[in-house]
Amino acid sequence: MRQDSLYHDTPASSKVPQADQSRLVELKDQIRHHDYLYYVKDRPAISDGEYDRLFRELSDLEQKYPELITPDSPTQRVGAPPLDELGKVPHERPMLSLDSLVDPDQTLAFDQRMKRELQTDQVEYTVEPKFDGLSVELVYDRGAFVRGSTRGDGNVGEDVTINLRTIRSLPLQLQGRSHPDHLVVRGEVYMRLADFHALNRRMTERGEDAFANPRNAAAGSLRQLDSHMTASRPLVVTCYEVMALSGSPLPSHWAELEALAEWGLPVPILRRRCNTIDEVLAFHRETEQQRDHLPYEIDGVVVKVNRVDLQTRLGMKSRSPRWAIAFKFPPRKEITEVQDIAISVGRTGTLTPLALLKPVEVGGVTISRATLHNADEVARKDIRIGDTVRVERAGDVIPAIAERIPVPDEVRPEPFHMPQHCPICGSAVAREGAYYYCTGQAACPAQLKGAIEHFASKTALNIEGLGKKTVAQLVDQGLVKDLSDLYRLDQGHVLQLDGFAERSSALLLEAIARSKEVPLDRFLMGLGIRQVGQHIAKVLAREFGSLDAIMAADRDRFQTIREIGPEISASVASYFQENSNRQVIDQLRRLGLSIVDAPTSHTQVAHPLSGKSFVFTGGLTRHTRDEATALVEQRGGTVSSGVSRKTTYVVAGTDAGSKLDLARKLGVQVLSEEEFESLMNQPDST
């Protein structure tokens, strides 16, 4: 199958044997033909292995003769150097939206309006699925793909040409010789459900935030500044409208779709030409019944007056055509299917099973994954891949599976079992009570990312600018292999990261430098020791006073502390017994980290507030809540969240609430912020 191309397929070269030149052209034609059969006709003629063999042979020839590589070659879909930003592109014709209907009576009313305005008793329609993806404009000149853009505001979109070129279902060269010299097509970029769930599984296992639904995944992937990232995402495109073309217009929308398919562009396979509105309603019902079995996500069908001359007579409104509507499906509610069960690895190595779901709307929010908590919970509810389940938002925030819904005659797979090895690093998985965890610690990228985020958090070393995305880049690019590597970073390293320029990189390095002096309790908090939060970190700091004293203690010594039990004692002792953890701490100190000793309960000077209990309520104007808490604890007092008869003082700020009322009822002394300030300034006892 020869192509009429802007690039004329392959430039001739006297240095290349004629046999190799002919074979290269033949391979390109074969691959394009098989892409057409796979993506447009949905009937592949060769196996994946045979396709890969052809592709490798073409790639090898092009490596041997690089002068024969053309921009429209099937091998040229690997991406280009990253952009600083996406440019703006004016559309050749406005990309309008569609009026949405959900009621069959509204669709009948649309038909009556079409008949009335066209003064006819019958209107022919074309009906096709409404893909739930990202709308794009595609421009072809002399058969070659030259530009692609997002819808944007309908008049101006973002130039995503280099990203669209990475999508294998989009032909870089139209086929045959009948295509117009200039063609502008509208299409939808989306992600097939199986590919979407596979992507979410990989992201979940890496500890990254998964996409909420296939549409978000497609939009986020297509708008990447780095087209290599787009190339790694399994996007597809379907074309459904001719927006402009040179030469004579086609007579109908159905003829447009047939022509697009003939020219090698993927068009909706599921489509129908309907003579009456009753046939439209029937197509809508049939498609809704097929919805859960389709390989992609749709949220309705699009109904268009078929004849182009009638479309022109009907015209446009400001934002939508008068001759087309989106006849939507009702949103899915609560009941959905478990597509897969993935394992998320947290910062402490805990393995959490997550159900990857067919997207469902719950409380106005689209849900595509839900926590299964732990292996015991999965076994108790007997959740397996393929099960039909009811989803709820626990506390109206975290999605969870409420129950499995049995389906008659269903054949279920084997029960789910936790893996024996970490899905991220391959380290052995150990069990502690109901929880499984990876033993790889800092050798596990998922734990390392979480550990760095925790180390840099506000309650620990408070390194501003070191968020999730920055941490992920530092680990993925091999710039940070343990916590101590943070203090080896220089501006050259930071400038390698997306989103960083001279000023922002300097600010991050300044924040890291400021963190080099840290109180003992915050450092302990930052280490991310299992079961050691802010309170236990402060207890340890008060008890031992220095990091060296804590590192020298054993499990029995920790258990002598009133607020520390057997599990916390074992966790702290095992952390500091681990040689790799001690090495990281040693490196941190060598790189200038100063861990400030804390006054211990045995050595601190007596203060009038020793042993007193404080509760804060309302807004403070002179201190943040953390600063006020620190003032109390430095003087031997404690801060709690609830008021009781044991509370010594309640400090009432602006807009104090129910805690103030309870304090008065219980007879607890109430302090204004000024009185609290005065109390803090009392001298130590001598």
Each residue's pLDDT tens digit, 104-128: 999 999 999 999 999 999 999 999 9
Cβ-proximal residues to 185 (8 Å cutoff; 6+ apart), any chain: 137, 138, 139, 140, 239, 241, 242, 243, 260, 265
Least confident of 89-103, 165-179, 360-374, 566-580: 360-374
288 pLDDT tier (thresholds 50, 70, 90): very high
The position carrying tokens 């046999």 is: 19
Helix (H) or strand (E) holding 244: strand 235-245
The rounded distance, in Å, linking the Cα atoms of 294 and 292 is: 6
Q: Can 130 be counted among the known catalytic residues?
A: yes
CB of 461 within 8 A of CB of 515? yes
Strands 99-101 and 429-432: unpaired
The rounded distance, in Å, linking the Cα atoms of 131 and 151 is: 15
117-170 pLDDT, tens digit per residue, is 999 999 999 999 999 889 999 999 999 999 999 998 888 999 999 999 999 889
Is the predicted pLDDT of residue 441 greater than 50, yes or no?
yes
Token code pair at residue 112:
């009556």
593-646 pLDDT, tens digit per residue, is 999 988 765 545 556 777 788 999 888 888 888 788 878 877 778 888 788 888
Is the predicted pLDDT of residue 7 greater than 60, yes or no?
no
Q: Looking at 28, 130, 304, 358, which residue is catalytic?
A: 130
Helix (H) or strand (E) holding 355: strand 350-362
Rounded to 5 degrees, φ, ψ at 236 are -135, 165
516-543 pLDDT, tens digit per residue, is 999 999 999 999 888 888 888 988 998 8
Is the predicted pLDDT of residue 399 greater than 70, yes or no?
yes
Domains of the chain: 1-76 (1.10.287.610), 99-328 (3.30.470.30), 335-404 (2.40.50.140), 441-515 (1.10.150.20), 519-596 (1.10.150.20), 613-680 (3.40.50.10190)
CB of 171 within 8 A of CB of 36? yes
Looking at every residue in the chain, the average pLDDT score rounds to 86
Q: How many CB atoms lie within 10 A of CB 635?
A: 18
Residue-level pLDDT at 443:
72
Mean pLDDT of 248-275: 94
CB of 615 within 8 A of CB of 640? yes
Token code pair at residue 94:
């406005």
Residue-level pLDDT at 369:
84
Is the predicted pLDDT of residue 1 greater than 50, yes or no?
no
Is the predicted pLDDT of residue 499 greater than 50, yes or no?
yes
12-51 pLDDT, tens digit per residue, is 556 788 888 888 888 888 888 887 777 666 677 888 778 8
Collapsed DSSP state (helix, strand, coil) of residue 60: helix
The rounded distance, in Å, linking the Cα atoms of 39 and 192 is: 12
Collapsed DSSP state (helix, strand, coil) of residue 380: helix
Mean pLDDT of 448-471: 91
Angle at 154 between CA 98 and CA 125, to 5 degrees: 30
The rounded distance, in Å, linking the Cα atoms of 213 and 241 is: 25
Is the predicted pLDDT of residue 665 greater than 50, yes or no?
yes
CB of 378 within 8 A of CB of 223? no
69-98 pLDDT, tens digit per residue, is 887 787 776 656 656 678 899 999 999 989
CB of 126 within 8 A of CB of 257? yes
The position carrying tokens 């734990």 is: 447
The rounded distance, in Å, linking the Cα atoms of 241 and 423 is: 44
Strands 649-652 and 613-617: parallel
Q: How many CB atoms lie within 10 A of CB 135?
A: 19
Strands 429-432 and 398-404: unpaired
Residue-level pLDDT at 612:
86
Burial 319-358 (b: 16+ CB within 10 A, else e): ebbbbbbbbbeeebeeebbbbbbbbbbbbbbbbbbbbbbb
Burial 494-526 (b: 16+ CB within 10 A, else e): beebeebeeeebeebbebbeebeebbbbbbbbb
Q: What is the torsional sign of CA 215, 221, 225, 227?
A: negative
Is the predicted pLDDT of residue 686 greater than 50, yes or no?
no
The position carrying tokens 């941190």 is: 588
Helix (H) or strand (E) holding 479: none
The rounded distance, in Å, linking the Cα atoms of 602 and 560 is: 14
